[in-house]
Structure 1
Amino acid sequence: MSSVQRPSASASLDPNAEVDGSLSILPIDDIEPYDQNPRVGENPKYAEIRASMVANGMTSIITVTRRPGGLKYFPHSGGNTRLHIAKELAAAGDDRFARLRVMIKTWTSESVVLAAHLGENENRGDTSFWEKALGVHAFKVAYEKENPGRSMTGADLTRELKKQGTDFGVRMVQNFLFAVEDLAPIGPWLRASEVNLALRPRVGEYVELMQRFRQAPAAASTLKTQLEEAAAEMRSTEARNRERDESERRPVLLDVERVLLRISTSLADTLELSVERFRQMSSALAHDPLLQSKDLLSLPEPEAARASGAAAKSQPHQDSTPARAPESSRATAQRHGDAPAQRELGPMAGIVGGTSGHAASRPAPANPMAFEASAAADGASQSPAQRRQQLLNEVEAVITSINGVVPIHDFVLRVAEMPFGFMVDLPVSASHIGDADVSASAGMRIVVWQFLAALSGQAHDSHWRAVADLPFIRSTRWSQKLQEGPAAFAGHLVGQLQVACAPMNPEQTLFDVFVGAVPLWTMFGDAQLGPLSVRLLQLRRALQELEPEAHSALGAYLRFGE
C-alpha cells in the first residue's frame, strides 16, 4: 500500500522571517541608534545610566526592529541611550557588551516606531519641549507619507498618538507644530508655557496683522531674521559658558519678551507704525478677526504713542497691490444687512441652572472703573446685604467686560454660594466654544481661566467643600475631575490647559493649583485686561472687608482622600 505524501504545513514559511516578540542575542555591531530618535540632546541621566551599566551590566533588554530589507536593527521604543553607552563600553574592551540580549518587534511602520519612542520618552519625563515637538512633527510627516492625501490637523495627530498610547492633548500638539514650523531657530531654548501663553498667540497676531496689509512675505522674512539673531545670542552665551568655570556660568534662558519686542518693532517699521500702534492693531484684530485694514487704521491712537510723540502714520506702507478695505467697512456692511452682526455675549453666559439667589444679569458699563465712585458714595447708606449684592453685581459686570475682550462665557459660572459669586468650570476646549473656532484667543483664555480659578475660591479647600455637594456643582467638569483623584485631576490641568499644579505633601492628599509668573504678567500687562483684573482684586478685597467671617484669611490646599 503506497502512502500518500502530504504537503508540509510549514512549507510556505520563510525560515528567515522574524517572530514578533521573540528573544535573541545580537552582536552589538548589528544594532545602530534610531536615526529619527526624538531626543536630540544628551540624556540628562546619561552619567547615572552609564555608572549603573558599568557596575551591573545590561540589566534590561532592548526592544529592536528593522525596516524591510534593512540589515541593521535599531531600538523600537526607546533604549538609544543604553545602546550608545553599550557601544562605548564595548569599544573600550568590556566584553559584557559585545553581544546584547534583545526582543525583536516585526516592522509595522515608521509612524508606529516614532510614536513608541515618543511614548517611552514621555513616560521617563526627561525630554525637552523641543525634542517632543520634533518627535510629534516627525510623526506627522511619517503618517502623512504612509497615508497619501491625508493632511493631519492638531486634533488628528492627538487622536492618532493617543491610539499609540501617548496623549499630549490637542493644545500642546498644536504648540509643538507651531514651534517646529514657525519658531525653529530658537527651538532648543523654548519652554512650553512661553510658547503656549506668549509666543504662539502674539506671533500669530502679528502675522495676521501683516497679512491684512498684504505684507505676509515681509512678516516671514522678519520673523526668520529676528529668531536667527536671538538664536545666535543664545549660542554665543553657551559658547562663553564653556570657557568659564562651572561656578561662573550664566543661565542660558530665552528672553521671550525681548524677542517679541524686537519682532513687533521690526514689523511696525515695515508698516511705518509706532510699535504701540502696531500692537494695538494686532490685539484688536485678535479679538475681532473680521476687522479689515480700514477698520484697523480708524482705531484711536494709543495713549502711549501720543505721550511719546510717536504719532502713527495715517497709512502704512503697502506693496504694489495695496490692501483695500471692502467697499463698505464691516460696521457699515452690518448696518446695511450685507454681513451678519457679531453675536452679543451675555454676562456669565455659561450659567449652570438650578442655583438659588443668583443676581440678575446686566451688561457691563463702558468703563468698569465707573463703579468705584458710585460704590464709595452708596456704601455708607447701604445695609451689609445690599452692599454685598452691589459688589457681586460689580464682579459680574467686570467679568462680562473681560468676556468682551477674551471669550470666556463657556466656562464662567454664577454661583452665589461661592465667596465672590462665581467659579470657572474646566473648558471643553481652549480653542473652540461649541462649533465656534476661538483658537486665536486660546492662549488668553487659559491665562484668564487660571486667574479666575485662583480668585474664585474653588481651589481653596474650605470654600470648595462648602459647595462641593450641591447637585449643580457636582455636574461640573471641575467637580468630576476632582472626584477622579489627584493624578487624573493634575493630568487634565497640565495636559489640556497647561496649568501648573502639584501635590503638596508626600501622601499626595494636599494639592495646589498655581498661577505662574507668565500668566500674571500677561494678564496685568494687557492694555484691556490689566485694569479689569486690578478691579477684580479690589472688589475681592472689598467683599473680604465687608464679611470677614465668610472669607478665610489664609489659603488652604485642596484635599483629596478625606
Structure 2
Amino acid sequence: MRTPETLTAVQRHADLQRNSNPESANASSATPGSITPGSNEKMSDITKTSAQEKRLSAARQALTSTTRNATADIDPMDEADGSVTVLSPFEIDPYAKNPRLRPNPKRAELKASMSAEGRITNTITVTRRSPNDKYTPYGGGNTRIQIAQELLNEGDQRFAQLTVITVKWPGDAAVISAHLSENDNRGDISFWERAQGVASFKKTFEEENKTILSAAELNNVLKKKGLNYGIRMIQNFAFAVEHLSLIGAWLRTEDVNGVIKPNYGACLDVSKQFDKAKEVKEAIDEIFLMYCQDLEAMDAANLEKDPAEREEVKIDLQSLITDIQSVSSKALGLHADDMPAVLQAFLSQPKMSADELLKVRAGNTASGVPSSSGKQSPLGGMLGSVAGGNIQPFQNKPSSKQPAPGKSGNEQDRLASFQKRLTTELIALNDEVPIADFIVIDPDMPLGFLVDIPESMDISKDKQLSEEQSAFRESAWAILAMVSGQCNLDVVSKSTVPSKWMKAISTGVQAMTELCVAQGIGMRQGVIYVHSMQVWQLIGSPVGGVAFLKILSTITEFYSFYPEKLSIPYKQLFT
C-alpha cells in the first residue's frame, strides 16, 4: 500500500519526466489537435520551457567547445607598417648586412649631441624577420642604436626606452638598398662600401627572386630603389669587388674608374695574348697585398696620433700603376720600360698577337689604326637647322677685333668656315661613337655648344654601347667640357639654355659631384680632372681617335683666331 510519502515521490518523478520531455508529456495528456481546459496556459508553459532548454543547450555546447582567440587570424610575424612602438635599445641589434663598414666619422659628435639632448632626435624605423628575432634598423640608425646602448650602460636612464616606427619585414635585399640609400643621402659612404653594398644587394636579390641580373638589369632594379649609380659605375663596383678587395678600403671612385681599372684591365688583356693571365693576376695581387699592408700600417699609426695631426691615408696611384706594369712585364717576359708602349699598342690594335707585341719597343709603338665598323646614326637635328645646305652648329657673333696681321679673308666668312668644319667633324665623330645625346647647342658659349651630363655613358638612344665606346665617351666628354668653357663660372653663367649641367651648378657642389660620379666623370669641388689614360684612350682609339683629334685641331685654331674668347679670367664653379 502506498504511503503519502511514496505517492509524493512517484508524483515528483512524473513531474521530472514531463520537464525533460514536454512534447511527450503533452502527447500523453491530450489528443493531437484537441484543446482541453486550461490549454492556453499549458502552451505558454511549454513555450517557456522550450526556450529555456535552448539556452541550456547553448550553455552546454559553450562549456565543451574550444575557446576562440580574438587574434587567431592575425599573423604574429606581421608588423603594422608605420606603427609606433616603445623598445629598449637592447631589443634592437645593428643590421648585419649594413653597407657601412667603417665607423661613422662623426660618431663622437653624434654621441655628444645625443647625450646633450637626452634622446634620439630623428625617429628610427625598425623591422624584424620574425617574433623570435630582435629588431634591426631599417634604412639607417645603426650608429645611433649603438650609442644609445652605450649611454644606457653608462647610467643615462633617458635612453632606457626608445620610441621607434616598425615596418613589416620586406626581405634582406630591400633592407640593404634602404641602408645604401640612407648612407648615400648623407654622403658619408666610401666607394668600397658602396661596391660591397651593391654586390650584397645583387646576390641577395638574385637569391630571393631566383634570377641572375646583368649590369643593365641591376641598374634598373636599383633605380627603382632610388639608387641611380649608372651602368658604368656598377661595372666599376663589380670590378673592384672581384679584383681589388685587398686595397678596397682605400679606393676612390675617380681612381678606380680612370686609373686603376684601365691599367689593370689592359695588363690582363695583354696577358691573355701571351696565355699568362693567371701568372699576371697573381703577380698583381702580390702588389695589392704589399700596398694593403702599408696602408693598414699607416691607418694604425694614425690612430695613435691626435686627431688634428692625422694624415689622410691614400693610395699612391703613380707608384701603384708603375708596380702593376713592372710585375706584369716580368711575368710576360717583357722589358719594364717597354710595357707602357706595349699597352698603348694593344689598345690601338686589340688583335695584335703576342709575337707582334714582343716587337714593340718604347718610343716605337705599332702604327696603323684599323677602321671602325657599325657606325651610329648621325647627329641629325642636334646642331640646329640646315640653311642653304650647310649645317650651322652655333650662332656665335663675329669678333669685334680686326684679324691679326697675316690673316686673310673676311672675319665673318672665317667664322662661318669654322662653324662648318666643327659641325662636319662632330658629325664624323658621332658616326664612330655617339655623342649627340650630350651636346647642347648654346650660342652664348664660346664654341656655341655646352657638353651636358648624359643619362648614361653606356647607353645611347636605348642602345647598349660596347665597353670601348663607353670609355671613349667618358674621355671625350671630359675634354670637350673643358675646352667648351663651361667649367669657368664667369663664362658658363651667361648660358640661358636649360641643361643638367646648369641645374647641377645651381644645386651645389655635392649634387654636382654625385651627378658626375654616377657617370664616371672625375670631379672634385667642381673641377673636372683629365688624366693621361683618358688622353691615351682618345688618341689611340680605333673608334674615333682620328675624328676626335680633328675636332681638337679645329678648336685650337678657332681659339687662336679669337683669343678674346679665352681671355675671361678663370673662376672656379664652387669656391
User: If the length of structure 1 is used for normalisation, what is the TM-score?
Assistant: 0.73
1:554 paired to 2:575: no
1:255 pairs, out of 292, 306, 316, with: 316
Letter in 2 for 1:137: A
Letter in 2 for 1:64: V
Task: From the superposition, tell whether residues 206 and 431 of structure 1 become closer, same or farther in structure 2 (CA, over 3 Å).
Answer: farther
Q: Distance in 2 between matches of 1:256 and 1:414?
A: 35
Contact 2:521–2:528, Cα closer than 8 Å, also in 1: no
Task: From the superposition, tell whether residues 32 and 414 of structure 1 become closer, same or farther in structure 2 (CA, over 3 Å).
Answer: closer
1:543 paired to 2:554: no
Letter in 2 for 1:297: E
1:88 paired to 2:115: no
Which residue of structure 2 lines up, in the alignment, with residue 479 of structure 1? Answer: 499
Which residue of structure 1 lines up, in the alignment, with residue 356 of structure 2? Answer: 297
Moved more, 171-180 or 114-123: 171-180
Deviation at 1:237, TM superposition (A): 2.0
Which residue of structure 2 lines up, in the alignment, with residue 282 of structure 1? Answer: 343
Q: Please state whether the residue corresponding to 1:119 is helix, strand or coil.
A: helix
1:23 paired to 2:84: yes
Moved more, 418-427 or 103-112: 418-427
Which residue of structure 2 lines up, in the alignment, with residue 419 of structure 1? Answer: 446
Which residue of structure 2 lines up, in the alignment, with residue 508 of structure 1? Answer: none
1:500 pairs, out of 523, 526, 532, with: 523
Letter in 2 for 1:207: L
Q: Distance in 2 between matches of 1:243 and 1:355?
A: 68
Task: From the superposition, tell whether residues 108 and 381 of structure 1 become closer, same or farther in structure 2 (CA, over 3 Å).
Answer: closer
Which residue of structure 1 lines up, in the alignment, with residue 175 of structure 2? Answer: 113
Letter in 2 for 1:145: E
Letter in 2 for 1:109: G
Task: From the superposition, tell whether residues 344 and 10 of structure 1 become closer, same or farther in structure 2 (CA, over 3 Å).
Answer: closer
Q: Please state whether the residue corresponding to 1:64 is helix, strand or coil.
A: strand
Q: Please state whether the residue corresponding to 2:84 is helix, strand or coil.
A: strand
Which residue of structure 1 lines up, in the alignment, with residue 398 of structure 2? Answer: none
Q: Please state whether the residue corresponding to 1:24 is helix, strand or coil.
A: strand
1:515 paired to 2:552: no
Task: From the superposition, tell whether residues 190 and 359 of structure 1 become closer, same or farther in structure 2 (CA, over 3 Å).
Answer: farther
Q: Please state whether the residue corresponding to 2:499 is helix, strand or coil.
A: helix
2:373 pairs, out of 331, 336, 342, with: 342
5+ residue gaps in structure 2?
A: 1-50, 393-404
Letter in 2 for 1:453: A
Deviation at 1:284, TM superposition (A): 4.3
Deviation at 1:455, TM superposition (A): 0.8
Q: Distance in 2 between matches of 1:542 and 1:251?
A: 43
Which residue of structure 2 lines up, in the alignment, with residue 429 of structure 1? Answer: 456
Q: Distance in 1 between matches of 2:186 and 2:117?
A: 21
1:61 pairs, out of 98, 123, 126, with: 123
1:222 pairs, out of 283, 286, 310, with: 283
Task: From the superposition, tell whether residues 125 and 485 of structure 1 become closer, same or farther in structure 2 (CA, over 3 Å).
Answer: closer
Residue-by-residue CA offset, 1:334-365 (whole Å, 9 max, x unaligned): 9xxxxxx734689989954525589789xxxx
Deviation at 1:222, TM superposition (A): 2.0
Q: Distance in 1 between matches of 2:419 and 2:70?
A: 81
Contact 2:341–2:362, Cα closer than 8 Å, also in 1: no
Which residue of structure 1 lines up, in the alignment, with residue 4 of structure 2? Answer: none
Residue-by-residue CA offset, 1:437-495 (whole Å, 9 max, x unaligned): 322453453232122112123556786688856xxxxxxxx737747984498364443
Q: 1:23-422 alignment to 2 at 5 Å?
A: 23-59=84-120, 60-68=122-130, 70-148=132-210, 150-244=211-305, 249-275=310-336, 277-287=338-348, 289=350, 291-293=351-353, 297=356, 301-304=360-363, 342-343=373-374, 352-356=383-387, 380-385=407-412, 388=415, 407=433, 409-410=435-436, 419-420=446-447
Letter in 2 for 1:446: E
Residue-by-residue CA offset, 1:80-138 (whole Å, 9 max, x unaligned): 00011111111112222223222222212110111111111111211111111111111
Task: From the superposition, tell whether residues 443 and 227 of structure 1 become closer, same or farther in structure 2 (CA, over 3 Å).
Answer: farther
Aligned length: 492
Q: Distance in 2 between matches of 1:40 and 1:465?
A: 41
5+ residue gaps in structure 1?
A: 307-311, 313-329, 335-340, 362-377, 470-477, 503-512
* Aligned residues: CA RMSD: 4.5
Deviation at 1:177, TM superposition (A): 1.9
Residue-by-residue CA offset, 1:26-54 (whole Å, 9 max, x unaligned): 23322211111111111011011101111
Contact 2:539–2:549, Cα closer than 8 Å, also in 1: no
Which residue of structure 2 lines up, in the alignment, with residue 365 of structure 1? Answer: none
Task: From the superposition, tell whether residues 484 and 124 of structure 1 become closer, same or farther in structure 2 (CA, over 3 Å).
Answer: closer
Q: Please state whether the residue corresponding to 2:169 is helix, strand or coil.
A: coil
Deviation at 1:77, TM superposition (A): 1.6
Task: From the superposition, tell whether residues 483 and 498 of structure 1 become closer, same or farther in structure 2 (CA, over 3 Å).
Answer: closer
Contact 2:232–2:457, Cα closer than 8 Å, also in 1: yes
Q: Distance in 2 between matches of 1:180 and 1:433?
A: 27
Contact 2:342–2:360, Cα closer than 8 Å, also in 1: no
Moved more, 550-559 or 440-449: 550-559
Contact 2:254–2:520, Cα closer than 8 Å, also in 1: no
Moved more, 421-430 or 394-403: 394-403
Which residue of structure 1 lines up, in the alignment, with residue 539 of structure 2? Answer: 528
Task: From the superposition, tell whether residues 440 and 389 of structure 1 become closer, same or farther in structure 2 (CA, over 3 Å).
Answer: same
Which residue of structure 2 lines up, in the alignment, with residue 455 of structure 1? Answer: 483
Contact 2:230–2:519, Cα closer than 8 Å, also in 1: yes
Contact 2:433–2:473, Cα closer than 8 Å, also in 1: yes
Which residue of structure 1 lines up, in the alignment, with residue 15 of structure 2? Answer: none
Q: Please state whether the residue corresponding to 2:255 is helix, strand or coil.
A: helix
Contact 1:137–1:177, Cα closer than 8 Å, also in 2: yes
Which residue of structure 1 lines up, in the alignment, with residue 28 of structure 2? Answer: none
Task: From the superposition, tell whether residues 397 and 280 of structure 1 become closer, same or farther in structure 2 (CA, over 3 Å).
Answer: farther
Q: Distance in 2 between matches of 1:432 and 1:299?
A: 36
Q: Please state whether the residue corresponding to 1:419 is helix, strand or coil.
A: coil
Deviation at 1:263, TM superposition (A): 1.1
Letter in 2 for 1:431: D
Q: Distance in 1 between matches of 2:494 and 2:111?
A: 53
Q: Distance in 2 between matches of 1:346 and 1:18?
A: 54
Percent identity for Structure 1 against Structure 2: 30
Task: From the superposition, tell whether residues 462 and 30 of structure 1 become closer, same or farther in structure 2 (CA, over 3 Å).
Answer: closer
Contact 1:37–1:114, Cα closer than 8 Å, also in 2: yes
Residue-by-residue CA offset, 1:59-91 (whole Å, 9 max, x unaligned): 333222222364322112211000111111111
Q: Distance in 1 between matches of 2:572 and 2:389?
A: 27
Larger radius of gyration: 2
Q: Please state whether the residue corresponding to 1:25 is helix, strand or coil.
A: strand
Contact 2:476–2:538, Cα closer than 8 Å, also in 1: no
Deviation at 1:270, TM superposition (A): 1.4
